[in-house]
A and B are shown apart, each in its own frame.
Chain A
Amino acid sequence: MKPFAIVFAILSAFVLSANAADTFKVDPVHTFVLFSVQHLGIANTYGRFNDISGTVVFDKDNPSKSSVELSVPVESLDTHNSIRERSLKSPDFFDAKQFPTMIFKSTKIEGSSDTLKVSGDLTIRGVTKPLTVDFKKGGEGKGVFGEMRGGGETRFTIKRSDFGMNFELGEVGDEVTIILSVEGVKK
Chain B
Amino acid sequence: MLLQLLKQILPSAALAAAVAATLTFIFARWWRKASDCAAAIAIGGGYIAGHVLTAGWSPLPPRTATHWLFWFAVIGSIVATANAFIRPRATVRVIGWTIVCAIACRLILQPKFSYDWRWAEGWVRVIAITLGIVLLTWCLEIVDRGPFGRSSIFSIMTIVCAGTAISLMLAGSLLLGQLACVLSAILMVLFLAELAFPALFACGVEAIPLSLLCSGLWLSGHFYAELPIVSALLFALAPAVALFAPVRENGSQWRALAYRIALATASVIVAVAIAFHSSPPLDY
Contacts and interface: CB of A to CB of B under 8 A. Distances in A.
A175 interface: no
Nearest to B280: A82
Contacts of B112: 97
Interface of A: 81-83, 86-87, 89-92, 95, 97-100, 125-127, 164, 166-168
Given A91-B175, A92-B175, A86 B63 contact: no
Contact of B171 (A82, A86, A167): A86
B115 A89 contact: no
Interface in B62-78: 63-66
A83 B280 contact: yes
Contacts of A86: 171-172, 225-226, 279-280
Contact of B63 (A90, A164, A166): A164
A91 B171 contact: no
B174 A92 contact: yes
A91 B282 contact: no
Nearest to A170: B8
A99 B63 CA distance: 10
A87 B224 contact: no
13 contacts: A86-B279, A87-B172, A90-B173, A91-B225, A95-B64, A97-B111, A98-B65, A98-B224, A100-B115, A127-B63, A164-B64, A166-B56, A167-B174
A89 B115 CA distance: 16
A87 B170 CA distance: 9
B282 A83 contact: yes
Nearest to B66: A91
Interface residues of B, number: 25
A110 B212 CA distance: 52
A82 B278 CA distance: 12
B223 interface: yes
Contact of B175 (A82, A89, A90, A126): A90
Given A87-B172, A164-B63, 17 more contacts: A83-B279, A83-B282, A86-B171, A86-B172, A89-B172, A90-B171, A90-B173, A90-B225, A90-B226, A91-B220, A92-B172, A92-B173, A92-B174, A100-B115, A126-B63, A127-B63, A168-B174
Interface of B: 8, 55-56, 63-66, 111-112, 115, 171-176, 220, 223-226, 279-280, 282-283
Given A83-B283, A86-B280, A98-B65, A91 B115 contact: no
Given A86-B226, A166-B55, A98 B175 contact: no
B56 to A, nearest CB: 6
Contacts of B224: 90-91, 95, 97-98
A81 B172 contact: no
Q: Which of B56, B63, B171 has the most CB of A within 10 A?
A: B63
Contacts of A91: 64-66, 173, 175-176, 220, 224-225
Given A83-B280, A83-B283, A86-B226, A167 B64 contact: no
